[in-house]
Structure 1
Amino acid sequence: MYYSIHYKSTVGDILLASDEDSIIGLWIGEQKYIGNTMPKNIIEKDDIPILKEGIAWLDDYFTGKKPKISRLPLAPIGGEFRQQVWKILTEIPYGELTTYGHMAKEVAKRIGKNRMSAQAVGGAVGHNPISIIIPCHRVVGTNGSLTGYAGGIEKKVKLLEHEGVDMTGLFVPQK
């Protein structure tokens, strides 16, 4: 069984979900891929201890306290490749950035391949079911482009600004 709770944040309405023992999802509004990453049988319930821990984590995050990701048990639902990408995302420090290219090199190293497609990594990053806590907003294009945030580029910008990221040299590519 899966449970959820709603949270109001500066980047919009958040739906936080758990399997009772771990956080399995955090979606901002009607973000892209929400239908692919959210289990169908979620019951809204506000007395689940792990969801209360998740809310406390979000309160700390949005008040600038830099909570540790390791503070919460996480269980994102996805295949082995995506799990590897999401694990690497959890290693990006608060207020810092990495690129899809760097992530691809790291994934390749960890799975014993010579190289990995940055586009494949980007797909896994985009399907991250636990936004913010697993900080996919900290990944940018090699040229500094703010691409690929399922919650929307404007939310990515707000999260990066909230974390004090130097936005000099970062840009939103024109379509």
Structure 2
Amino acid sequence: MTSRPGDPASVSVLGGALRGHALRLARLLDELERPSRRGRAPGRPDPTAPERALLARTAEELDRVGAQLQGFATTTVETAARLRRLEQDCAAADLRVQGEHVVEPAGPSRTDPADRLRSRACLQAHLSRVVTADAEALADLQREVHASAARLERLSERARTGSAAEAPGW
């Protein structure tokens, strides 16, 4: 199985940075809410509520995608560990991992052919599960990042146009 570009540590750092920005936005919201309550006449609507709602939604999005990135980084590290163990198991059976397949290396083997064939089938099934789980984790992350980008784009557009009131489905 070939590894993908990048590294889990960088992905985790990016996720942590997004979550840190979300936390800073949440603190800013707290700071903005106190003066808003003091300056508002009783029974009057809060004129800054729509803008604060946009900030809150933005903070939620940043936290959500940051958590997703950090979860993916953890999954990537776990997958790499599973692959290392699988490669060791393959070597013990005189087999090796080549891409997404368990293969027999060229040349003679000291392993009983029947045992080697059974081991190969079992190890191939294990490798297939690892590869499938890895692909699903990446696809989940890609879907979440694309969906989050679309949500953040809508929030940004609403902030630019001044249409900050909550829309249905938000």
Q: TM-score range by the shorter chain?
A: under 0.3
Q: Per chain length, whose mean CA-contact separation is higher, i.e. which structure has more relative contact order (CA < 8 Å, sep 6+)?
A: 2
Larger Rg computed on CA atoms: 2
Q: TM-score, normalised by structure 2?
A: 0.21
